A and B are shown apart, each in its own frame.
Chain A
Amino acid sequence: MRPFIVLFALSLASGSAASTDGLSSMSLEDLLRVEVAGASRYAQPLSEAPSAVSIVAAEDIRRFGFRTLAESLQSVRGVYATNDRAYSYLGIRGFGRPGDYNSRILLLVDGDRRNDTIYDQAMVGHEGPVEMDWVKRVEFVPGPSSAIYGGNALFGIVNAVLWSGTDLEGSRVTAEAGSAGMARLGLLAGRGIKTGGQAGDWTVGLSVYRKRGGDVHFPEFVGVGGGDGIARGLDGERYAKAFAKLNLGGWHTSIALSSRHKDVPTAYFSTDFNAPGNFTLDQHAYADIGHAATLSENLTRDVRLHVGTYRYDGEYVFLSSSSVVGRDEARAQWWGAEYRLTWTGLEGHKLLLGAEAQRNGRVDQRYFDLSPRTNHLDSRHRGSSVGFFVQDEWRFAPRWMTNLGLRADRITNFGTALSPRAALIHHPIPEASMKLIHGRAFRPPNAYERFYHDGNNTQKPSAGLRPERIATTELAADMAVTPTLRLGASVYRYRMRNLVEQITDPADGLLVFVNQSPIHARGAELEAEAMLTGGWRLRGSIAAQRTHQDSGGEPANSPRRLSKLLADGPLFDTGWAFGLNLQSIGSRLSANGSRVPAHVAGNLVLRQGEAAKGGEWSVGLYNLSGRRHLDPSSSEHVQNALPQDGRQIRVRWESALQ
């Protein structure tokens, strides 16, 4: 019985929170025995993923004034962002299918999935549940990661790591104003907690945003209704977002809410041009609670329960053509559980075992005319998924490491999918590393692709869709040639099967989703970072890729060249710093096969170098040239390409309070 008594005594004592003074008087040996408080102790940071991870650090977010996740990811090699004035989309290594709602990218916030269960959408613009001010760093893992994360992780994972209370120890208030009647207010606050035998922290964030929106000129609509092709005052946007998280003892809990309303000026889906009333509304709510515990010296366990809801409303004005306003409503609710064990009992190994189960209790899509009310679609579904995964990280020789992972997913209606990944990592000298990675991933067609239709007016149901599959191989190297010059390079090959894409069925002229013939991509990326004298820093990357479809031709929105140049540093002795960010993107095809020209776009941000009393000011000029660049459009647009914002200014004030 002795073990029981010892155990209960220890449980009741429940440890004492060591003070900093207590810690600094401890020996190194004793320090290595102190148990670390908080949930982060069990999470494997994504930055340790076996891949060529790119990181947008907190300093970069400030230096370059990134306003959304999409904008920050655009600084990453091989990544490009597009916008259709409703949502932001990411293209990765030549894959950026117009109108795919980012369903092939996994969005994580503090390591937790944020794709919804209808469109599988990774929302990386203002529509998403994340506010840029809350983000401490953005981690981007290119390539498939289904071996750990299951579906959607085909082209990459975006993980937004939020600031925590121990980072903040106080609050930050921000106010912004800018072009097109933009105004934004934000609050972020948090502190460490030490009570009794426990330690942890709390964090809260709030943000409200409003943009009146300017006029947008679409040459395709010149003459429509005798007009000049300008959609006037139909580009407005507003959102409100909130989050809170608490870590205490082994427990962690969080909640996040967001609502975004966007007017859509593009007359998509054949709606009336220059008519008010076309909008999209996206609302998210997430909550989770988890507990992490050390079961033995080498074994830790993390368990987490989560719930989420997503709501989409969209209205489409057809008053001039058919005297109706159509309304889309999508409602999703899901809940699930995750269980993870990490074992480090065998020398050189780190073994991860996990199980996940999710129930999609509500997957509803409706489409109807508002007045008179006529139902066209009323689709109600449920489903569930279970996944098991195992990963071993093994240092098998000095400077050599392997990472082997395998995940099995069972999803309603789609049977079992296996996703393996293998990586070999070698670092011959401390300042250089090489990685060889092979991975496979899958994505089951989402509820939108499977069930959405508008009563066979323009779109019919898509039966018999098979899951998409991708296999990739990548070789990546990274080296600091000198203390001030770092070089990175990678070459890769992707092969994708069963790509789900919307086409017009020649038999009946209706839109339908089908599996496409295989797509192959090969590419190379080169990156350099140099520290110059005077505290200036220069970073640049070039990506070249070639994608072709077996059925022939070049896929849409697949630029062959992407170049980026970022420069930042102090502005001489003025006390101000600058961040210049230039992006060049090669020509691309739009969904209807017309060519969208290449362009270069640049942003410049000036900010006070040191936080002064009374707050820190920064001024951002976005799209320096003022030229309205074009992004390829998807099939629901009449336009071949959609104009982006012209020159914009943003003035930002931030004050930190202790």
Chain B
Amino acid sequence: MSEKGLELFEERLTLIDNAIKFKENSRVPIYGLVSNWMLYYLGMSAKEALANPDAEREGYNKAVGEFKFDALLSSLIQLPSVAAKVLGGGSITDNESDVLQIRTSDSELMGPDEYDELIADPVGFMRDKIMPRRHEFLKSGDIEAQYATLKEFYDLGAVRGMQMGKNEQYLKEELGVPVPAAGGGFMPTDIILDYLRDFSGIMVDIRRQPEKVCEASLAMLEPMIKSVDAANPVPRRDKLIAIFTHIPGYISPKAFEIVYWPQFKKYLEHFSSKGHRWMILYEKNWEHLYDFLLDSPKKSILGFFEEDDIFKGKKVLEGSIAFAGGIRTNDLYYKSKQENIDIVKRVIDECAPGGGLVLAPDKVMHTNADGKTENLQAVIDFAQEYGKYK
């Protein structure tokens, strides 16, 4: 264990915490919203990383040390799920790609007339109806064979979990880099979208039976809160409950108010009242929903905004939600080093005063098209100096 590492770890936690609270900071923190892009940086394929976890870990840690991020999305790369293959793939695309992808148009597992069943017993409905519709092997064979398949699935997941846990400890103790994301799950409406009704199904439901979507989401929220409560029994200085949102960017404020906001607000308030803080990935554009966001718990959320205009968003959400962004992946790939520096300079000039700013890529970096190494490095080097509060 390195004393310097732990000291740095504490410094970085303070940077993030101060940003969330809009408190005075020594400099603007930089969040490494980076996933499989690291594979490109390392010149390694996902297949090679899977075959050689030691090389993956060593390469990842070397890259983390070089980029000097103040926090990371994950303690290792998000590899294609070997475990999912054991179940027959599920919703994961098996395409030999280096990116973990969810197969589209393959998740209409629930009918539009089944909402009442989902509302009456969300866990029972998903167990009895959705699980066998998702996985063919659950429709036949004896229970011991099914159990053996599931055990293999969980054993593989546990191995990866241990690798990630062990490396999170290393990142903390030796490199001083926190990995704040704590499991907060997906919001129930997003589970309905991703795994029950698929995109076209839920969009029709939102038009034709929005109250049912809302009721189902609230019914699903109850067991979800219990589960997340148990996983996060007390607030931790090094952890933020993480939520990745999916559907809000596609729906109107009116629809959002009916189907999404009730569960979202209830969820945020439940954990905020206990002192938890959040990192929320507001996927797509949320500018039409700022009136709702302003009613979120204040100074306890680090919001990663994918497509929002940072200059507008930072101003509107000032004093409420800390804004993470300002480094556009598109610019990192297509623009020059100097152009990227100029963009980040403007972000710091206009958005850093008053606190509440964390520099981060606007999207999770997955592929090499999400940014050129030299541009990302140049932006970070620049921001570490220029982003100091005087």
Partners in one complex: no
A→B interface (CB under 8 Å): none
B→A interface (CB under 8 Å): none
